[in-house]
């Protein structure tokens, strides 16, 4: 493979992985409404620690408990976290917006045809 073909292949692989990640997040309800996202997060928080414990037992690793912030107290967001939050909000609203724009576009086209 020459360099440009390799770069194109890498781009396609990375794009496929990113698309799969977005699809999985959507499928799990993380890109839905706030209540759907909260339910999915709660389910993940219940499922993930036992799965990690099982994996570490299998591999023979020792994982110490993290000293975290209590669930009732959330730290303020820094700039990067704010940008990530705004991007995820936009991705969450994208399917609804796309449907709205499609409906508006069809109405516009129908009005032009009349």
Least confident of 57-61, 72-76, 83-87: 72-76
pLDDT band at residue 100 using 50, 70 and 90 as cut-offs:
confident
Across the chain, mean pLDDT equals: 75
Mean pLDDT calculated for residue range 106-110 = 88
Q: How far apart are CA 30 and CA 39, in angstroms?
A: 9
pTM (2 d.p.) = 0.33
DSSP state of 65: P
| Residue-level pLDDT at 64 | 63
Locate tokens 């303020």: which residue? 76
Q: How far apart are CA 34 and CA 20, in angstroms?
A: 22
Mean pLDDT calculated for residue range 76-80 = 73
- Looking at the predicted structure, is the pLDDT value of residue 111 above 80? yes
- Looking at the predicted structure, is the pLDDT value of residue 48 above 80? no
- Looking at the predicted structure, is the pLDDT value of residue 1 above 50? no
CB atoms within 10 A of CB 26: 15
Q: How far apart are CA 29 and CA 23, in angstroms?
A: 10
């Amino acid at each position: 493979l020459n360099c440009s073909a390799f770069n194109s292949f890498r781009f396609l692989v990375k794009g496929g992985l990113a698309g799969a990640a977005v699809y999985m997040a959507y499928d799990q309800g993380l890109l839905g409404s706030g209540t759907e996202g909260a339910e999915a997060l709660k389910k993940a928080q219940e499922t993930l620690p036992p799965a990690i414990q099982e994996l570490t037992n299998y591999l023979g690793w020792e994982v110490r408990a993290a000293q975290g912030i209590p669930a009732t107290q959330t730290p303020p967001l820094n700039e990067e976290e704010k940008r990530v939050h705004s991007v995820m909000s936009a991705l969450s609203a994208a399917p609804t917006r796309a449907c709205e724009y499609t409906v508006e576009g069809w109405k516009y086209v129908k009005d032009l045809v009349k």
